A and B are shown apart, each in its own frame.
Chain A
Amino acid sequence: MTDSLRRVWGLVYRHLALYRRSPPRVIELMYWPILQMIVWGFMTTYLAGVQNNVASAAAGVLLGGVLLWEAALRSQMGFSISFLEEIWSRNLGHIFVSPLRPGELVAGLMAMSVLRTLIGVVPAILLAWLLYAFNVFDMGPAMVLFFTALILMGWAVALGCTSLILRYGAGAESLAWSVLFGIAPFAAVFYPVSTLPGWLQPIALSLPAAHVFEGMRAALMEGRVAWGHLAAAYALNALWLAGTAWLFMRQLQQARTRGALLNIGE
């Protein structure tokens, strides 16, 4: 293991040790995705009963939307909340005076984000299959690309949130829970981008998630991979990640200049 990987592992180990000793944290990771799946599962069952053909196709789209959106949500929250855990435990000072580089800190938070996403979303995927006979893998191998694109978008948003926490302190921590909900109406999770008013559509199409969900609908309803949307999602993710990574590094440097790292918990 290289020195850099070992430092990243050190940060991941810290969080794994925390989860090992705190079962409520693990349960909380699974709670919301499962709850969402149950609510939307019954909704789609009801819709399928009311209007058979169209609604059963829509049911798959809704459940697919729920599962994929949870991946973005859990990815973003997994990153942001792992950072907040360091603030809550007043440990950030030790982290920032260790040899852990900012890039390694981000890599450790991304690794935790993936782990938290898997713990949260995999039970919901199983539940969708067991209770509602919805198999997300019916979308084919492209499903992995959809999930990956949404995890990347979650990281980009989380880097933005973490930058705001560095700028405004723990007072900005509610963003870790709320920011992605604000994006959801424009991300075309449950309806096509074309449903939105014309002036909103360019905004929606600037979100990687909107392209992922357009691609998901093409896969589920037309049985094809919308490569154009997938490519757009990844290109936008690259732009978003570059922008928010720059913002994060800038806010970190400014926090070091202002002395904010000394009292970021306040």
Chain B
Amino acid sequence: MREVTQALIVENLVKSYAADRPPAVDGLSFTLARGQTLGLLGGNGAGKTTTIAMLLGLLVPTSGRITALGHDMATDRFAALARMNFSSPYISLPHRISVRENLTVYGHLYNVAGLKRRIAELAEELQLTDFIDRPAGELSAGQKTRVALAKALINTPELLLLDEPTASLDPDTGDWVRTGIERYREATGCAILLASHNMGEVERLCGHVLMLKQGRVVDEGAPSDLVARYGREDLEQVFLDIARGTRVGEAA
């Protein structure tokens, strides 16, 4: 009955785009329990985006199995997607329509009950009220990030996938967003998968991290354990060690 406690189970996931190229993701396995935040770290091309795309059903794995909230993503992905959500600065919301209209669209797509009330709650929690009737394209980067987070929380997801949630934000806004994510997790017991290049953010939010390189997990553990194991001062130095191959960590 591991589905009851595990929000996400990934088993031996492989994605190969071409036979003459190494796989983008190569034998990835991990679990994510409800109420936990798992960090997915790695340099550019390490396989993070490919992994997230497979977890969302946007990309079909070459082999392996993904079980999200008890649903096999190969055969029953829409049941899982209704209870999941996703935020990325690399995918926009329609610019010409207002924030309220955007949230209404996604509220309908996710069949959110009491949609007007839910939008009002999110507007209050994420401080969208001042610009909720402005076109999404006219907002600042910080405002857009808050709107993207509101869209990601519209269906009160049990599993949340966040790709660089604070990219290009100033430290104050970034901290504000991280606090919002923490509060949501504490209030709902949501499981969060976080891909980020901000090591401070990962140390703050994640109980466990996977270090990816060339599509494989090269190390994993709690951020503090990794820092201690590598004899470094922070996770950023551990990241550099792994990315540059200057020091090989012990197996987890």
**Interface stretch (choices A8-16, A36-44, A179-187, A209-217):** A8-16
Given A3-B111, A13-B104, A18-B97: A256 and B58 interface contact (C-beta under 8 Å): yes
* Minimum distance in angstroms from A41 CB to a CB of chain B: 34
In the bound complex, do residue B91 and residue A10 qualify as a contact, i.e. CB atoms below 8 Å apart?
Answer: no
Closest chain B residue to A91, Cβ basis = B94
Which residues B23-52 have CB closer than 8 A to chain A?
49-50
Closest chain B residue to A21, Cβ basis = B96
A179 to B97, CA, bound (A): 30
In the bound complex, do residue A257 and residue B58 qualify as a contact, i.e. CB atoms below 8 Å apart?
Answer: no
A209 to B94, CA, bound (A): 35
Residues of A within 8 A of B60 (CB): 253, 256-257
Which residues A227-266 have CB closer than 8 A to chain B?
253, 256-259, 261-262
Verify if B88 is at the interface (C-beta below 8 Å from A): yes
In the bound complex, do residue B92 and residue A14 qualify as a contact, i.e. CB atoms below 8 Å apart?
Answer: no
Which residues B84-101 have CB closer than 8 A to chain A?
84, 86, 88, 91-98, 101
Interface pairs (28), CB distance under 8 Å:
A7-B108, A9-B108, A10-B108, A10-B109, A13-B101, A14-B97, A17-B97, A21-B97, A22-B96, A89-B93, A89-B95, A90-B91, A91-B91, A91-B92, A93-B58, A93-B91, A94-B86, A94-B106, A96-B58, A97-B81, A98-B109, A99-B82, A253-B60, A257-B59, A259-B53, A261-B59, A262-B53, A262-B59
Seen from chain A, the residues whose Cβ lies within 8 Å of a Cβ on chain B are 3, 6-7, 9-11, 13-14, 17-18, 21-22, 85, 89-91, 93-101, 253, 256-259, 261-262
Seen from chain B, the residues whose Cβ lies within 8 Å of a Cβ on chain A are 17, 49-50, 53, 56-60, 78, 81-82, 84, 86, 88, 91-98, 101, 104-111, 135, 151
With A89-B94, A99-B111, A261-B59 already in contact, 20 other A-B pairs whose C-beta atoms are closer than 8 Å = A6-B108, A10-B108, A11-B105, A13-B101, A13-B105, A14-B101, A21-B96, A21-B97, A93-B91, A94-B106, A94-B151, A96-B58, A98-B106, A99-B109, A99-B110, A253-B60, A256-B60, A257-B59, A258-B17, A261-B53
